[in-house]
Structure 1
Amino acid sequence: MAPLFNLMLAILSIFVGSCFSESPTKVQLVGGAHRCEGRVEVEHNGQWGTVCDDGWDRRDVAVVCRELNCGAVIQTPRGASYQPPASEQRVLIQGVDCNGTEDTLAQCELNYDVFDCSHEEDAGAQCENPDSDLLFIPEDVRLVDGPGHCQGRVEVLHQSQWSTVCKAGWNLQVSKVVCRQLGCGRALLTYGSCNKNTQGKGPIWMGKMSCSGQEANLRSCLLSRLENNCTHGEDTWMECEDPFELKLVGGDTPCSGRLEVLHKGSWGSVCDDNWGEKEDQVVCKQLGCGKSLHPSPKTRKIYGPGAGRIWLDDVNCSGKEQSLEFCRHRLWGYHDCTHKEDVEVICTDFDV
């Protein structure tokens, strides 16, 4: 019996090693109304991913709440009820088995052998929120007292009340998300409102946002408490580019012609330095046209040169952008071109 028993132990150790290997180093709740509610995400080997809800129960949620210092369990919601995870995220854990007394999820039995789980089965958690009323995921954001809705003092909304934002908890990556959420262009500047004319009144939000800069809105960013005694002299002021307005001029349809962009109330052309098919794709997408036909250099320049300003040069897109405003480019009006180098774009007709 001894050889057989040893063999069974060896097989069991292999199974345990493959199914309950390294534990996640971090856990977070994403997409909820505050940091103590949302879809459960774990980090494993440097990668963030979700947890399958197979066997997920209040004991597992209790451990997550304890690890995040979020008080008691409220409920075990479905993770799919929150904003869906990033497209590149995977389900990293098939099963979790906690007795409910562990201090961290890493101390529970975790099965990394994911074989049958989609993001529709992501685990969720809702815990008490121990933070004060001033630490909340913003319901909305706006820029006020600026020359337009794309420049101004940052204010966030919670329970019908607008609050200013302390500069110490803000950075360029967060500004990028705000510009995108407001439908503006690239983030240009972020600084404190030193001028009394730009300072706000009322409550000051004491949260610190952590964003990658790629999120669609602030609700997708992480939130933590800002340990800082801010005054309205440190209110956050930020500026985005105005949203791009595009048109194609001189073609038989609005989906072909010389590219022009609107800036400061004037239409101007775009230089073709480094312009290629990816840039064409973004323009066609933004205009609601079909696919880019990307004419060869020999068939270009059939719509004639533009007149007036050349607004953009050295535009560089990945092709995935929804608008030209998210592509890199020189500062507005800076170029080394003539109108003989104006960009022309030909797309198939409007999408239906």
Structure 2
Amino acid sequence: MWVGRKWRPICEDRAPYVQAVGVGKVVCRQLGLRGGAERYRMYANSSMPAVATVACTGKEKALLACSLNQPTSADSERGLCKTHLAVACAGVADNIVDVRLENGSTPYEGRLEVKLNGKWGVAREWTDDSLPMARLVCQELGLKGGALRYGDYYGSGALPPLIMGLNCTGARKLRDCPFSVVAPMDPVDPSAL
């Protein structure tokens, strides 16, 4: 965040996950990008944070419209925070164009795989409320209902992990759900429907 003619980090030490996702959505929207899943937490350096905590619903048009708490005297004495907020946005080209369920005992269940930018891969689901995502995937496949089985229930498969943090709360179509593209070092725990 630009403060006092200097870029400063946003501290995440006290931000619950749901607030971090809201902040991510706002940051990405402000940059003209989609998505906004919390990517990971970066260990802080010696920079004084611009903001100690941020709370966003995810619907704000800009970060300054969120609830911003300035660093306390304890933060100032410390000179830093333990972790900085890091966000992953999906670029305009990153669109889920197809979904399928693999390795299930029927065509109505299996490991969730998505086609993104012409490549198939495994979806890794990390959101707290996964029921909307399961329902939208089933709807996309012409099915009703939807439930999620956690972990590697249907095996990890041969395809690489492709997306994570698929969050469909409030979405009407799967293409409206924000997500992050998986980096090669991210752990894999495939979504199973």
TM norm structure 2:
0.51
In 1, Cα distance between equivalents of 2:187 and 2:138: 24
TM-fit CA distance, 1:84: 3.4
Match status 1:13 vs 2:31:
yes
Would you say the 8 A contact 2:156–2:190 is kept in 1? no
TM-fit CA distance, 1:101: 4.6
CA distance change for structure 1 residues 11 and 35 in 2, over 3 Å: closer, same or farther? closer
Pick aligned residue for 1:85 from 148, 157, 172: 157
Cross-structure match for 1:68: 141
The higher radius of gyration belongs to 1
Pick aligned residue for 1:95 from 161, 165, 171: 165
Match status 1:112 vs 2:152:
no
The number of residue pairs the alignment matches comes to 116
In 1, Cα distance between equivalents of 2:34 and 2:112: 23
Pick aligned residue for 1:37 from 103, 109, 113: 109
Structure 1 consecutive aligned stretches of length 4 or more whose deviation exceeds 4 Å: 7-12, 14-18
Q: Secondary structure at the match of 1:64?
A: helix
Amino acid at match of 1:70: L
Amino acid at match of 2:137: V
Amino acid at match of 2:148: T
The alignment-based identity, stated in percent, is 25
Cross-structure match for 1:298: none
In 2, Cα distance between equivalents of 1:43 and 1:51: 10
Question: Unaligned regions of 5+ residues in structure 1, if any?
Answer: 126-352
How is 1:35-184 mapped onto 2 (pairs within 5 angstroms)? 35-55=107-127, 57-73=130-146, 75-78=147-150, 80-86=152-158, 89-99=159-169, 101-103=171-173, 105-114=174-183, 115-118=185-188, 121-125=189-193
CA distance change for structure 1 residues 24 and 79 in 2, over 3 Å: closer, same or farther? farther
CA distance change for structure 1 residues 117 and 10 in 2, over 3 Å: closer, same or farther? closer
TM-fit CA distance, 1:26: 0.5
Query: Bigger relative contact order, structure 1 or 2, given CA contacts below 8 A and separation 6+?
Result: 2
In 1, Cα distance between equivalents of 2:176 and 2:156: 27
Alpha-carbon displacement from aligned partner over 1:62-121 (angstroms, at most 9, x marks no partner):
110111111112x311351114311xx211112111125523x22211211435222xx1
Question: Unaligned regions of 5+ residues in structure 2, if any?
Answer: 8-25, 36-87
Q: Secondary structure at the match of 1:39?
A: strand
Would you say the 8 A contact 2:127–2:166 is kept in 1? yes
TM norm structure 1:
0.29
